[in-house]
Structure 1
Amino acid sequence: MYKKFTFAQSALLVGAALLSYQAHSAGFQLNAQSATGIGRAFAGDAVIADNASVMARNPAAMALFDEMSLSLGFETITTEISVTDAKYKAFATTDTVDSNYDNAGGTSVAPNIHLIVPVNDQFAWGVNLYSNFGTSTEFDDATFAGKEYGGKTEIMSVNLGLAGSYRLNEQWSFGAGLDLIYGQGTLERNTNLNISGNVCNLLENPQKRLCEALNDGNGLPVTVDETISALSADVDGYGIGFNVGTVFELDENNRFGLSYRYSPDIKAEGDIEYLGLPNNELTLPLPDMAEFSGYHRLEDTKFAVHYSVQWTGWREFETLDADVSGTLNNYEWKNGFHYSIGGTYFLNRDWTLRVGYMYDESAQDELTSVSVPDSDRQWFSTGFTYHIDSKSNIDFGFTYLMGKEVKVTEETDLGAVVSTIEGTTSANAILMGLQYSRTF
């Protein structure tokens, strides 16, 4: 679908930059809580409970532990983002230029730690710390013509969780937890305003009135072909969410898990400068999630099959709003699902092998963007566990994530002048995880 922005809307992509420049999962969700999950495409991860990281997916699964369990590790996410067949038309010109870009991605590291402490046969509690989002992307202004559609983005978030579980009987367990979410992001957007005159006159109200007020009624002069900073932002914020879940066990080899996570809107504050106009706060909507998982160890074999279906409420991310400028951009994302299936092979007492596949639906609907590439994508995963002894092990997981190509057309409207870009975006990623787990 053809997408038209005002300049305020296209430049102030802080929310998208903070939370949606992710090539490794649809929208801005990051599935990277554990190396074991990466190795099986997170199939069955709300109920498998082979280490303490399960509490990040379902707090009720803590009831499956009869010993204190610790898992700590990290994941690396390497994104491969390209723009091909791209044509860019700058402000106040009729000529188009090539605006391809080979790789706007980067590599990020997401550490995690999870601890589960059983109190008795019925109660357990746990605490964990992990990252929901984390990446680094950059379009070089010197080689990417459409500066206002690219730029630099650095993102980090941390989730601190505290949860408890209660075993009702041999079949049913329940759990609940609180999440303290911290997010931080830095964003730079430049543009080549190939015009001259008064910048304030090019804006629409209320930005025009604010621009004039800040400059004593005078506009900001712009020189022809001068590259200026369209946006410079450094913001952070907190939010509090919660999660609940249940586990139903048919027997020791067959069980099901169901969980729900409420995600808050984060009020992100900081230094935000848009063409000299200040905004102090942005509201960043986060999606709720629900997940159903199953695990089945085949009788008298060394093989288990597991699966998950996760729903994500991306429709929550309709607009990006600021305290001064109001609605900065419309996203109109849609709710989506991911479906994963995997297998585990217990080779011997030392080695456990796993594979997985996920189909992950795009959060974007008709509105698409060069700077926020998203598409339906497939996960191809494999991994293993090496059991050091009966109490400790090392896990490794690897995923290649392959996205579809998406055709994009965008327009930035300054009122008097317009720039456009057309092209095809592609976003792939490689995820690798390594963790150490131990029971006490």
Structure 2
Amino acid sequence: MKTTWLKTALAVAVGALSTQAMAAGFALNEQSISGMGTSFAGRSSSADDATTLFGNPAGMSRLKREEVSFGMAAIHAKTDIKNNSGSFSSPVPALNGPIEGSNDGDMVPFTAVPMGYYVKPIDDKWAVGVGIYVPFGLVTDYESGYQGRYFGDYSEVRVITVQPTVSYRFNEKLSVGFGPTINRIDGELQSASPNAAGPLGSNDGRVKVTGNDTALGFNAGLLYEFTPQTRAGITYHSKVAYTLEGDTKLSGAGFDVAGASGKYDASLDLDTPESVDISLTHELNDQWTLYGGAMWTRWSRFEAIIIENDGIPGPLQGNLAPIVEEQDWHDTWSYAIGAAYKLNREWTLRTGLAFDQSPTNNVHRSPRIPTGDRTAISFGLAWNPTDDVTVDLAYSYLREEEVDINRSRTYQGGALEANYDATFKNRAHGFGAALSYRF
């Protein structure tokens, strides 16, 4: 029983941690408020402010003055759950029956995402900078008594990245940039476990998985200006190789009865995949600027997850060979178009439309990350009261396609099986504000 839950909980942990790097789901795409206003179209070619350090480090060479930018994005998500059903099945007739519980769908709390950047031009060729941002994260907290609690009722993942960066301008047309990334990841996952020794659903056990690591990666970019009005950019975000160290804690009546309560050491290797962002920016005239872009993410490297366990004493040690959990994800593309309209010297309006694919499939999708392909529309506003100050505001609305969750899991050596089926549909509102100051 202990080994089964250790395998299952850690496998789900890896899935939840890695999925947050993708564009779809509840991933965090908000590293720039000015970019948020155009749905991140032109992210690798716009180079309008210090946030280009993330979007394309080569764009720092376009900034003429020392600049600092601080911002915050807030995300409010809502999920509708319908067509739900849950049941226990067992060779023992007395254990067959429904899984009771609710499906409120209010499992994503209001979440804030901070960011900060500093860029300093050294001369006409060189610029340096540093950025702190949150590339991805997740909080899902289902209500107590959620019907799908055996497949995950609490998930929290946070990644904070620090990126020192340098850019070099070869000539009037070509610039390059590079920055190593220092990434700190922390995660916590919880779920319930049924106890066949008592009334099913009334004396569950609890599984809590925690882990963290710090790992290195890099971002590199190239910016080419065909004319003073038209430029193209390409940015490569590297994979990041993590080795998460943590533990699995089993507690509650369900594990006390089996004598399995306690903490067990666990570790796993995880590579988040690389991505390539390409975009085009064209200044149509003094008022209109058009943006377009696409991003490819190599999620197909997640064919399987291999988990290593130790620290469990006694005869269970013989079952701790590497554990393989199939993922079978696929590569994804995201696309965005946008525009900006300059009303006058002080005010600029922005808008954008984006489409993001999800790498998950119906076989492996779980309540922890019940996401599908998404469409988002955004609006933005920039206010320049002086040449030194810019205030950016943005709003995004996104909705996802309906997706089905069909999960089953066995317990007590196959003596009991829990089943949960439901249809999820997610939508979210995003709000952002940022202040940029040029010295």
CA drift of 1:362 comes to: 1.0
Give structure 2 stretches of 5+ with no counterpart. Answer: 251-259, 310-319
Matched residue of 1:285: which SS? strand
Conserved in 1, the CA contact under 8 Å of 2:108 and 2:139?
A: yes
Conserved in 2, the CA contact under 8 Å of 1:122 and 1:166?
A: yes
Change (3 A) 1:28 1:401: closer
Change (3 A) 1:107 1:283: farther
Matched residue of 1:180: which SS? strand
Distance of 2:64 and 2:385 partners within structure 1? 20
TM-score (norm 1): 0.87
TM-score (norm 2): 0.87
Q: Which amino acid aligns with 1:247?
A: L
Question: How far does the alpha carbon of each residue in 1:360-394 deviate from its partner, in whole angstroms, 9 at most, with x for none?
Answer: 01111343222221211001100100112011110
Q: Which amino acid aligns with 1:132?
A: P
Change (3 A) 1:225 1:51: closer
Among 153, 156, 159, which residue is 1:157 paired with? Answer: 159
Among 172, 185, 188, which residue is 2:187 paired with? Answer: 185
Partner of 1:209: none
Partner of 1:376: 373
Partner of 1:216: none
Conserved in 2, the CA contact under 8 Å of 1:10 and 1:149?
A: no
Among 338, 342, 360, which residue is 2:338 paired with? Answer: 342
Change (3 A) 1:403 1:28: closer
After TM superposition, the structure 1 stretch with the greater mean CA deviation from structure 2, 266-275 or 178-187, is: 266-275
Question: How far does the alpha carbon of each residue in 1:91-137 deviate from its partner, in whole angstroms, 9 at most, with x for none?
Answer: 54433356533321112111110111111111111100001123321
Question: How far does the alpha carbon of each residue in 1:119-160 deviate from its partner, in whole angstroms, 9 at most, with x for none?
Answer: 111111110000112332111232x12321231122221010
Matched residue of 2:51: which SS? helix
After TM superposition, the structure 1 stretch with the greater mean CA deviation from structure 2, 84-93 or 156-165, is: 84-93
Among 67, 75, 78, which residue is 2:76 paired with? Answer: 78
Among 296, 299, 305, which residue is 1:320 paired with? Answer: 305
Conserved in 2, the CA contact under 8 Å of 1:38 and 1:432?
A: no
Q: Which amino acid aligns with 1:412?
A: R
After TM superposition, the structure 1 stretch with the greater mean CA deviation from structure 2, 318-327 or 360-369, is: 318-327
Partner of 2:14: 15
Conserved in 1, the CA contact under 8 Å of 2:130 and 2:165?
A: yes
Q: Which amino acid aligns with 1:284?
A: L
Among 63, 66, 80, which residue is 1:65 paired with? Answer: 63
Conserved in 2, the CA contact under 8 Å of 1:83 and 1:370?
A: no
Q: Which amino acid aligns with 1:61?
A: G
Distance of 1:17 and 1:256 partners within structure 2? 34
Work out the number of aligned pairs and report it: 406
Change (3 A) 1:141 1:330: farther
Question: How far does the alpha carbon of each residue in 1:273-302 deviate from its partner, in whole angstroms, 9 at most, with x for none?
Answer: 255462322323312110101000113x41
Question: Residues 105-254 of structure 1 correspond to what in structure 2 (within 5 A)?
Answer: 105-142=108-145, 144-193=146-195, 195-196=196-197, 227-254=203-230
Matched residue of 1:265: which SS? strand
After TM superposition, the structure 1 stretch with the greater mean CA deviation from structure 2, 243-252 or 328-337, is: 328-337
Change (3 A) 1:401 1:9: farther
Partner of 2:316: none
Distance of 1:129 and 1:101 partners within structure 2? 35
Among 29, 32, 36, which residue is 1:31 paired with? Answer: 29
Conserved in 2, the CA contact under 8 Å of 1:341 and 1:356?
A: yes
Partner of 1:295: 281
Change (3 A) 1:224 1:305: closer
Partner of 2:390: 393
Conserved in 1, the CA contact under 8 Å of 2:20 and 2:137?
A: no
Conserved in 1, the CA contact under 8 Å of 2:65 and 2:438?
A: yes
Distance of 1:252 and 1:29 partners within structure 2? 34
Among 85, 88, 103, which residue is 2:86 paired with? Answer: 88
Q: For the aligned residues, what is the CA RMSD?
A: 2.1
Conserved in 1, the CA contact under 8 Å of 2:89 and 2:97?
A: no
Distance of 1:123 and 1:146 partners within structure 2? 54
Question: How far does the alpha carbon of each residue in 1:150-193 deviate from its partner, in whole angstroms, 9 at most, with x for none?
Answer: 31122221010011111111111111110000011122211222
Partner of 1:205: none
Matched residue of 2:367: which SS? coil
Question: Residues 345-356 of structure 1 correspond to what in structure 2 (within 5 A)?
Answer: 345-356=341-352
1:407 pairs with 2:407: no
Q: Which amino acid aligns with 2:77?
A: T
**Structure 1 runs, 4 residues or longer, greater than 6 Å off:** none
